[in-house]
Amino acid sequence: MNVDEAKKVLRRQRIETPSWAYGNSGTRFKVFAQPGVPRTPYEKIDDAAMVHELTGVAPSVALHIPWDRVDDFAALATYAKDRGVAVGAINPNVFQDDDYKLGSVCNPDPGVRRKAVEQLLECIEIAERTGSKQLSLWFADGTNYAGQDSIRDRQDRLAEALRTTYDAMPADMTMLLEYKFFEPAFYHTDVPDWGTSLTHCLALGERAKVLVDTGHHAPGTNIEMIVALLLRQERLGGFHFNSRYYADDDLMVGAADPFGLFRIMHEIVAADALEGDVAFMLDQCHNVEPKVPAMLRSVMNVQEATAKALLVEKDALRTAQREGDVLGAHGVLMDAYATDVRPLLASVREEMGLHPDPIAAYRESGYAERIVAERVGGEAMGWGA
Ligand code: PSV
Ligand code: MN
């Protein structure tokens, strides 16, 4: 694609930020509180709106329920709209109640399963009230010891809960089913991989799709292969972007493995899926770095990987591939990856009426100082709160 066409596409790019990334977070060892952190879901929306204001490509924010519970969700959606952003995917949290010690929708106790399904159904209502079109499901379900529960029965329970939920969704809503190979369970996880997720999605219907969280695979997994396969099946629902060195580190996307992110975006661009139904969302925790600039950096990293993927010379690549020119084909890809796209993105931003450097614009805006001064009293929101 030539530079002008690439710039047009980049202007239209959409990346969703997660409400929970603006709150305090940490590891199981310690949560380090930061000053200026939101105390309400409304303040999280303010931060998300700031990220959109400076980048122009982050117009929606995902909610996590009950972390983002408010009395009036329609009012929250209006508040967001007034600040230029929309409510994105609704993520039900069915992993933090004591009842869920042995799982949620796969729990051996039918009463607990019913409670979990009720929470999922409530999130459909919340989605309807906020104008969200995506119900994004992740289950912490699994077991720690061989024989602890029946793997097969748990699959049946999962299928039943998903069916009830899917059937309750309005016709314009999509269900995203996220997988994760381990954690918090260590022996088996009920939705450990894309195959398990896809199997359930295929049984449910067209509006059930797989969500790929880039931190949820064993080290060395070829994630772009999974992306290509799911795109071929028209079942790639979206991403939770983040990066990792070891397990589910939830670091800024593109920080640990920018080349991996480029390879994923190359499959997206090659399949013409950048502007379709795939939801490009971030799922990160900023434990030691300031949160709003971390989100800016993350959005910019996705933009850079996308710009490089758009610059791949498609025809030259195809020709080299067809001719069996191994090094030629690889070279076409690497030429695009090696391009410094920062000037191109700076000019895209200027054309959009934005500061060419969102991080510098943030520094100049005084927003960081303002939220520290204003957000005093009350309780900072955090992971698990
Ligand atoms: C689980 O690790 C996950 O990736 C899910 O998407 C959760 O909703 C999110 O992290 C926040 O805990
Ligand atoms: Mn995730």
| Domain assignment present for 204 | yes
Atom nearest to 215 CA in ligand 1: 4
Q: Is residue 158 part of a domain?
A: yes
Protein residue with least CA distance to atom 11, ligand 1: 283
Please determine, for residue 322, whether its predicted confidence score (pLDDT) is greater than 50.
yes
pLDDT in tens, 147-199: 999 999 999 999 999 999 999 999 999 999 999 999 999 999 999 999 999 99
Would you say residue 230 has pLDDT above 80?
A: yes
Count how many Cα atoms sit within 13 Å of the Cα of residue 96 in the half-sphere of its side chain: 9
- Answer yes or no: is the C-beta of 46 below 6 A from any ligand 1 atom: no
Strands (E), 139-268: 142-143, 174-178, 188-189, 208-213, 236-241
Residue 380 within a domain:
no
Angle at 265 between CA 263 and CA 269, to 5 degrees: 120
Residue range 263-275: average pLDDT?
98
Range of the domain at 34: 3-374
Tokens of 345: 């993105």
- 278 domain residue, yes or no: yes
In a domain, 384, yes or no: no
> How many domains would you assign to the chain?
1
Please say whether the dihedral angle defined by the alpha carbons of residues 160, 162, 163 and 168, taken in this order, is positive or negative: positive
> Measured in angstroms, how far is the CA atom of residue 215 from the centroid of ligand 2?
8
CA-closest residue to ligand 1 atom 3? 138
**Does residue 297 form part of some domain?**
yes
Average pLDDT of the segment spanning 262-268: 98
Which CATH number goes with the domain that contains 253? 3.20.20.150
Residue 108 scores a pLDDT above 70: yes
Q: Whose CA is nearest to atom 10 of ligand 1?
A: 283
Residue 320 within a domain: yes
The answer to whether position 134 is within a domain reads yes
- Residue 193 Cβ contacting ligand 1 at under 6 Å: no
Local confidence band at 384 (pLDDT 50, 70, 90 cut-offs) = low
Pairwise CA distance, residues 257 & 263, whole Å:
10
Q: Which residues contact 208 (CB under 8 A, 6 or more apart)?
A: 162, 166, 174, 175, 177, 200, 201, 202, 235, 237
